[in-house]
Amino acid sequence: MAKRLLEFRDRTAVVGVGYTPFTKDSGVSTLTLACRAIMAALDDAGLGPGDVEGLATHRVGDSAAPSLVGPALGMADPTWYLDQFGGGSVSHAVVAQAALAVAAGVAETVVCYRAINARSEFRMGGTGRRLPVSPEVQYQAPYGYFAPPQQYAMYANAHMQKYGTKAEHFGRLAVTQRANAVKNPRALMRTPITLDDYLASRWIAEPFRLLDCCLETDGACALVVTTAERARSLRRPPVLISGAAWGGGDSHLSGGRADPTTTAAAALAPRLYAQAGLGPADIDVAELYDCFTYSVIVQLEDYGFCAKGEGGPYVASGATALDGALPVNTHGGFLSEGYVHGINHIAEAVSQLRGDAGDRQVAGAEVALSTAQPGYILPATSALLLRKG
């Protein structure tokens, strides 16, 4: 297996990125959002719908399927598609699988997209949402516990109790990411905040306050993936997919791996690094899934940037700021840019490696890590290691 993974390294590239505006009410369908983001990504790549052979997305019953999007853009006969059920944990697996399809020659060019009206139509964290379909829910919902902010607050408190992680650590993260969003014209939240603002924000589920939680956003984002060879003849600097991994399977609630302070990312990280021949020290920029402040802190540990339990102090040291040792969530993340369920982290990583991230550009960025929901809620995760071509 290892040999085949090595053969996959750097064979594919991201050559186009497209967005719709991020809003609280798009006023259009997710099908329309998907088409707009895809057309923008193709335009960025200098390609057209006729060049696309495959489409890939993930969704949780809340968005437009490839079988709708393809015909809507005049693609009568795509040679490959992926319609993955799942939330943030599979967001990067979608691109990883598209890259596999491209590397295997099944489709030369694939567009990955995620379109979501997460504020105006389908609120992940809001009152009144239908209960998710999962066998775990029966043991939780009768106690008034089912929403992601509750679940993540539970894990965050376990980390606080075990390792002494503090509210101020979460706050520093929120403040740092907001400072990045101030430099990002696409971001929804561009007013700077202070640690006092964080501490004064209202309680949601202790230990989480409002500013621990990501936005709920209407918007779409798309990425064009093709072979590294073809990428060299296109108009944008290619960004190579050096490593792509997904996995997991062991639950925090069964199967005997009941440590709520460690995620599936801890098991996935060594595979990802080996595949790319890179390690934490090689990474110039990290876009870490930030549905909540705590998820970044646990991933800093599980991806090996600091020791277990040290994620909070690592953030407080300033290491994750734009001028720190490891700039994290340079676009402001889901906390401040917008929440497109994972894909906008990959898009920002591509931007940083191309060098077109404007005021928030990390000088000399050559390697970026982008990650999915690290494996709470559903026990799976995925991640990409990208390299300047």
Partner 1 sequence: MPDRYGRPPRGVRPTPDRDSKDWWDRLAGHEFTVQRCDTCHTDRFPARAFCPACRTERWHWEAVSPEGTVESWIVNRRPFMPGSTEPYVVVLVRLAAVPGCLIHGGWDGDLEPEYGQAVQGVYADMGDDLALLNWRPAE
**Can you name the residues that pair with 116 across neighbouring β-strands?**
219
Binding residues for partner 1 restricted to 295-354, rule: CB under 8 A: none
Q: What's the one-letter identity of residue 364?
A: G
154 binds partner 1 per the rule CB under 8 A: yes
Rg for the chain, CA atoms, rounded? 19
H helix intervals, 14-72:
30-45, 66-72
Catalytic entry in 113, 163, 198, 339: 339
Catalytic entry in 155, 289, 314, 376: 289
> What are the tokens at 172?
């520093």
Binding residues for partner 1 restricted to 253-292, rule: CB under 8 A: 253-258, 260
CA distances (Å), 115 to each of 26, 60, 81, 187, 342, in order? 11, 11, 16, 17, 11
CA 17 – CA 333 distance, rounded (Å): 17
Q: Which is nearer to partner 1, 120 or 157 (CB)?
A: 157
**Using CB under 8 A as the criterion, what x/- string covers residues 156-185 for binding partner 1?**
-xx--xx-----------------------
Q: How many CB atoms lie within 10 A of CB 133?
A: 9
Provide the minimum distance between the beta carbon of 252 and partner 1 in the complex, in angstroms, as a whole number. 7
138 binds partner 1 per the rule CB under 8 A: yes
Question: 325 near 288, Cβ under 8 Å?
Answer: no
Q: How many chain residues bind partner 1 (CB under 8 A)?
A: 38
Binding-site member from 99, 115, 204, 343 for partner 1 (CB under 8 A): 204
Residue whose C-alpha is closest to residue 268's, from 289, 294, 299, 293: 299
27 binds partner 1 per the rule CB under 8 A: no
Binding residues for partner 1 restricted to 236-255, rule: CB under 8 A: 252-255
152 is catalytic: no
203 binds partner 1 per the rule CB under 8 A: yes
**Can you name the residues that pair with 338 across neighbouring β-strands?**
none
Q: Which is nearer to partner 1, 81 or 152 (CB)?
A: 152
Asked if the peptide bond before residue 207 counts as cis, ω within 30 degrees of 0, the response is yes
Region near partner 1 per CB under 8 A, out of 51-59, 135-143, 297-305, 335-343: 135-143
Provide the minimum distance between the beta carbon of 1 and partner 1 in the complex, in angstroms, as a whole number. 22
Q: Which helix (H) or strand (E) covers residue 219, if one does?
A: strand 218-227
205 binds partner 1 per the rule CB under 8 A: yes
31 binds partner 1 per the rule CB under 8 A: no
Residue whose C-alpha is closest to residue 378's, from 83, 113, 161, 133: 133
Provide the minimum distance between the beta carbon of 155 and partner 1 in the complex, in angstroms, as a whole number. 7
140 binds partner 1 per the rule CB under 8 A: yes
273 is catalytic: no
Binding-site member from 51, 83, 136, 282 for partner 1 (CB under 8 A): 136
**Using CB under 8 A as the criterion, what x/- string covers residues 87-126 for binding partner 1?**
----------------------------------------
What backbone phi and psi angles, to 5 degrees, belong to 292?
A: -145, 160
189 binds partner 1 per the rule CB under 8 A: no
The gap between the terminal CA atoms of the chain, to the nearest Å, is 25
> What are the tokens at 68?
């709708």
Q: Which is nearer to partner 1, 208 or 303 (CB)?
A: 208
Q: What's the one-letter identity of residue 192?
A: P
Binding-site member from 137, 199, 200, 307 for partner 1 (CB under 8 A): 137
The DSSP line for 231-253 is HTTSSSPPEEEEEEEEEE---SS
Question: 120 near 22, Cβ under 8 Å?
Answer: no
Provide the minimum distance between the beta carbon of 146 and partner 1 in the complex, in angstroms, as a whole number. 7
201 binds partner 1 per the rule CB under 8 A: no
Region near partner 1 per CB under 8 A, out of 130-138, 181-189, 234-242, 285-293: 130-138
127 binds partner 1 per the rule CB under 8 A: yes
Let me know the angle formed at the C-alpha of 110 by 108 and 114, rounded to the nearest 5 degrees: 175
Name the DSSP class of 213. Answer: B
200 binds partner 1 per the rule CB under 8 A: no
**Residue 102 contacts by C-beta under 8 Å, 6 or more apart in sequence?**
11, 12, 54, 108, 109, 110, 225, 226, 227
Query: Which residues are known catalytic residues?
Result: 289, 339
Binding site for partner 1 (CB under 8 A): 127-128, 135-147, 150, 153-155, 157-158, 161-162, 202-208, 252-258, 260
